[in-house]
Amino acid sequence: MTNLEEYGEVFSALRQTTPHWHAYTRHAFVRGLGDGSLPKESFYHYLKQDYVFLIHFSRAWALAVAKANSLDEIKACASTVNGLANGEMQYHVETCGKLGIPEDELFKTVEANENLAYTRFVLEAGYSGDFVSLLATLAPCVFGYGEIGLMLADDKTSDTYQDWIETYAGKDYQDVCINAGQLLDQAVINRFGKNYTQLPIWNKLISQFNIATRLEVDFWNMGLRGPCANPIAEPNGT
Amino acid sequence: MTNLEEYGEVFSALRQTTPHWHAYTRHAFVRGLGDGSLPKESFYHYLKQDYVFLIHFSRAWALAVAKANSLDEIKACASTVNGLANGEMQYHVETCGKLGIPEDELFKTVEANENLAYTRFVLEAGYSGDFVSLLATLAPCVFGYGEIGLMLADDKTSDTYQDWIETYAGKDYQDVCINAGQLLDQAVINRFGKNYTQLPIWNKLISQFNIATRLEVDFWNMGLRGPCANPIAEPNGT
Amino acid sequence: MTNLEEYGEVFSALRQTTPHWHAYTRHAFVRGLGDGSLPKESFYHYLKQDYVFLIHFSRAWALAVAKANSLDEIKACASTVNGLANGEMQYHVETCGKLGIPEDELFKTVEANENLAYTRFVLEAGYSGDFVSLLATLAPCVFGYGEIGLMLADDKTSDTYQDWIETYAGKDYQDVCINAGQLLDQAVINRFGKNYTQLPIWNKLISQFNIATRLEVDFWNMGLRGPCANPIAEPNGT
Amino acid sequence: MTNLEEYGEVFSALRQTTPHWHAYTRHAFVRGLGDGSLPKESFYHYLKQDYVFLIHFSRAWALAVAKANSLDEIKACASTVNGLANGEMQYHVETCGKLGIPEDELFKTVEANENLAYTRFVLEAGYSGDFVSLLATLAPCVFGYGEIGLMLADDKTSDTYQDWIETYAGKDYQDVCINAGQLLDQAVINRFGKNYTQLPIWNKLISQFNIATRLEVDFWNMGLRGPCANPIAEPNGT
């Protein structure tokens, strides 16, 4: 079984710095997935928001291609973009379909503020910063889901959310984490050398990783809260 | 006295479309400024967050210079950037100083999620879209504060937050709104022609304006809530 | 056989506006490919520059994913990015290998000024403008190579550069052009409506397409000139 | 008199690395300014191109505000943007006016390929990289003009281009260079620490500075060549 250390040394170092990591990976939403106590309504709400999330997550990985410094970085990120946009999105639509949520309902999802806060923070960090800043803000999502998957596979007490857990605990997703860990390690070392934690820029990366983790906590809060009882009809601007 | 119509036709058309405009401009925080019932603690919390906000707001106007299509657009936005970064920021620091909030406390402010949600949404809309998308997401802030200032100057029942109200009701800020309104009108017409509301892109601008307004509502919510009782010490990454 | 009209109506309209289209598509370099008179040295020089070009071209298509407004746009551009980075780049390396140019020589290619002028112009138009501006500056390359391929397949008098001609005249590349044409047409219509040529922004797109075409002419000039006899050793910054 | 060492240690270190620095600062165009042999036609052509250059140069400094990490960086760059857009542009228009080139002729200038190659390279390096990459590509222009100004003030043999020489040799411009040097030094040290030349990223900065210098050489080539005898009428896309 995958060990968290396989996610690489940069993630490991960043993970230790944020006071919010526990709140994120041991959130009530997560515990509710493990013991089956999460209300279906919350889960469905989360799935719909996650559909919108994946769109912007794909855009962020595409931005990483544009900001890459080497052909290896370009190839790695391009595979991820394509996998997300032409693979994972489709899988997500099918999963939701099986649960009775049709694609046009997914498509009409009004993006919650907590959802857009995270993706826009990531994208903006990428646009305003460099490739490494972009990866550092993507990291809490990529690796956090891997860690949560492994943890829940190990200690879940209910099969209610078995499919979700297997998705993230499974070899495919764990390989995504291992590859992303190597990409992040190489990217940092190829720019800042082996003693990167001694450089001032390391504090910036810690800060960006920390904020992104805080925003992930809010994402779970949003999921747990579920849909508004009386949502305001929003103008449709797509 | 300035009339809202002087803010230009594009803002006027966008304002009508969003279901959140009333929630934003008539928010309990705003009413508390008018009748003096807003707790000092909330106001100070808001001022500290606003300091961080102004930094990213300046960056957004700078991005508008980079994305401008004409020398007139460049000049208008460059003046705004410089006014914000080298004028308004200083004024804000002095105002806070008078209220007993020293600059180093402002500087240590941990940016609230609701605060960064708005500025990163604006910046990302600007980076991913064009000049007009950037202005459309800046618009709820620029014009909303103008409208709130005028409204409170007219119907306030307390002098507690008189200085704040005068700042936004005063001629200087109202002129900012009038100029920004002309800039927005010209930018839209110079790209999309006079019948811009008939084009599909108008729906995109409506959507972006609407989301930005929703995020402003959350900014007031954050202000009203005040600082956390037991904040988590965050890593400092500047 | 593919007809240029299948490249879509936006490209067709833009193509008519630029005074440089003929200079680009009927350049001496192109004629030399058709009649076999192009010196091998020029062709090899072009291939090496094209390797660097493809890297930045991939980045530009990735930027298009980040700037897309819809899932369809994201999917289309993500496929292109992946096809370029993980397919075409490899094909290019193999083609050069067969001609006796090893990959490490490709990798050490010093990017010519005329080469970077085009890709940086495209990328910057994309970053500063919107999705449509990005596509409009990519268009001369995408469709121009398609048109040149068809033309040379029809009237070539030599088989010396047969492989190159077949690559761009062949069904695979022609399908790329047809799909890109549909993407561009839909992108323009979904934003600016059917009467887009009546809008001021059309003039901006004409200007961007025209400059990009001019830069393509310079790219051929660079190819024809061949490598410098006594190149200055450049610092290696990858 | 200003000493080149006052331009800071980062510029000094970068300057030593590029094989093109001499070709740039001792270009025939520059020597022609010093001994008065530069044809008026070339100088006027250069001035018109420089007008377009300043527009994009202003945009690049504005992008630096958006990409800044600290309030000090924001303030410094915001002043520069405003000085360029609302000061230097006006001065340039007046200077040209005195020489008989009216503003509307400046405005109709068709941007030469060598001109746009440099500014788009800078802007793209800024968008794709970080604040430091942006400054490193702006540096050859900022500091090179300062060095050329000092050199020509010292050894010119003609007063024909006295005004131009005084502009760049004068205290105002030399102070711009000194301030930019401090900004660059601080930006690098605040991110990468004092031993930045030992880090892999230093090679990237060397490469970016070097390419930007090469593009400045081409800018002088373009100036020297003068306007085309029979220019093609370009579509006007502003």
Structure confidence by residue, pLDDT tens digits, B133-174: 999 999 999 999 999 999 999 999 999 999 999 999 999 999
Q: Which amino acid is at A30?
A: V
Instruction: Answer with the residue of higher pLDDT: A90 or C20.
Output: C20
Closest residue in B to D80 (Cα) is B82
Residue C237: pLDDT band by 50, 70, 90 thresholds? Answer: low
CA distance A199 to A179: 25
CA distance C63 to C74: 10
Q: In this complex, is the C-beta atom of C138 within 8 Å of any C-beta atom belonging to chain A?
A: no
Handedness of CA C220, C223, C229, C234 (dihedral sign): positive
> What is the rounded radius of gyration, in angstroms, for the C-alpha atoms of chain A?
17
pLDDT in tens, D146-192: 999 999 999 999 999 999 999 999 999 999 999 999 999 999 999 99
Token reading at B188: 């839209």
CA distance A62 to C49: 24
Residue C231 has pLDDT above 80, yes or no: no
pLDDT value of residue C82: 87
- Cβ contacts of B123 on chain C, cutoff 8 Å: none
> What is the rounded radius of gyration, in angstroms, for the C-alpha atoms of chain B?
17
ipTM score: 0.95
CA distance B172 to B80: 12
Mean pLDDT of the region C87-102: 91
CB C121 within 8 A of CB D116: yes
pLDDT value of residue A238: 52
User: Which of A18, A204, A237 lies nearest to residue B206, judging by beta carbons?
Assistant: A237
Residues in chain D: 238
pLDDT value of residue D86: 83
Handedness of CA A19, A25, A27, A29 (dihedral sign): positive
Chain A interface mutation, best of B16, B122, B124, B217, highest count of A Cβ atoms under 10 Å: B124
CB D27 within 8 A of CB D220: yes
Q: What are phi and psi of C99, to 5 degrees?
A: -85, 0
Q: Which amino acid is at D223?
A: G
Report the range of poorest mean pLDDT among A1-5, B138-142, C112-116. A1-5
Residue D82: pLDDT band by 50, 70, 90 thresholds? Answer: confident
CA D43 to chain centroid, in Å, comes to 16
User: Which of D60, D74, D123 lies nearest to residue B59, judging by beta carbons?
Assistant: D74
pLDDT in tens, D19-39: 999 999 999 999 999 999 999
Residue identified by tokens 């400094």 is D61
Mean pLDDT of the region D50-67: 97
Q: In this complex, is the C-beta atom of D207 within 8 Å of any C-beta atom belonging to chain C?
A: yes
pLDDT value of residue D187: 98
Instruction: Answer with the residue of higher pLDDT: C2 or D114.
Output: D114
Q: Which contacts qualify for B35-41: CB closer than 8 Å, 24 or more apart?
A: B35/B156, B35/B157, B35/B158, B36/B157, B36/B158, B36/B159, B36/B160, B36/B161, B37/B158, B38/B160, B38/B161, B38/B224, B39/B226, B41/B226, B41/B227
Q: What are phi and psi of D233, to 5 degrees?
A: -70, 120
The DSSP-derived string for D120-153 is: HHHHHHHHHS-HHHHHHHHHHHHHHHHHHHHHHH
Residue B238 has pLDDT above 60, yes or no: no
CB D46 within 8 A of CB D29: yes
Q: Nearest Cα to C235, choosing from D211, B189, B31?
A: D211
Q: CB distance C82–A84 less than 8 Å?
A: no
Say whether C227 sits in a helix, a strand or coil. Answer: coil
pLDDT value of residue B195: 98
Which top CATH class is A40-224? mainly alpha
Q: Nearest Cα to D180, choosing from D138, D120, D236?
A: D138
pLDDT value of residue B88: 86
Q: CB distance D234–C206 less than 8 Å?
A: no
Q: CB distance A74–C82 less than 8 Å?
A: no
CA distance C139 to C132: 10
Q: CB distance B69–C190 less than 8 Å?
A: no
User: Which of D191, D193, D204 lies nearest to residue A69, judging by beta carbons?
Assistant: D204
Which top CATH class is B4-225? mainly alpha
Q: Homologous superfamily of D10-225 in CATH?
A: Heme oxygenase-like (1.20.910.10)
CB C24 within 8 A of CB C144: yes
Burial classification of residue D228, based on how many CB atoms lie within 10 Å of its CB (0-12 exposed, 13-18 middle, 19 or more buried): exposed
Sequence-distant (6+) residues with CB within 8 A of A134 are A60, A63, A64, A67, A122, A125, A126
Residue D237: pLDDT band by 50, 70, 90 thresholds? Answer: low
Shortest Cα distance, chain B CAs vs residue A14, angstroms: 11
Chain C interface mutation, best of B199, B204, B211, highest count of C Cβ atoms under 10 Å: B199
Q: Nearest Cα to D141, choosing from D88, D191, D211, D63?
A: D211
Residue A237: pLDDT band by 50, 70, 90 thresholds? Answer: low
CA dihedral (C113, C116, C120, C121) in degrees, to 10, reads: 60
Structure letter (DSSP) for residue C108: T
CB D134 within 8 A of CB D106: no
pLDDT in tens, B4-50: 889 999 999 999 999 999 999 999 999 999 999 999 999 999 999 99
Residue A160 has pLDDT above 70, yes or no: yes
pLDDT in tens, B198-209: 999 999 999 999
Helices (H), C109-199: 113-128, 131-155, 162-169, 171-192
pLDDT in tens, B210-233: 999 999 999 999 999 988 877 788
Type and span of the H or E element at A68: none
N-term to C-term CA, chain A: 42
Residue C1: pLDDT band by 50, 70, 90 thresholds? Answer: low
Structure letter (DSSP) for residue D199: S
Mean pLDDT of the region D115-144: 98
Burial classification of residue A98, based on how many CB atoms lie within 10 Å of its CB (0-12 exposed, 13-18 middle, 19 or more buried): exposed
- Cβ contacts of B192 on chain C, cutoff 8 Å: 192, 199-201
Q: Nearest Cα to C63, choosing from C139, C142, C129, C140?
A: C129
CB D140 within 8 A of CB D17: no
Q: What is the mean pLDDT of chain C?
A: 95
- Cβ contacts of C205 on chain D, cutoff 8 Å: 237
Residue C2: pLDDT band by 50, 70, 90 thresholds? Answer: confident
Structure letter (DSSP) for residue C175: H
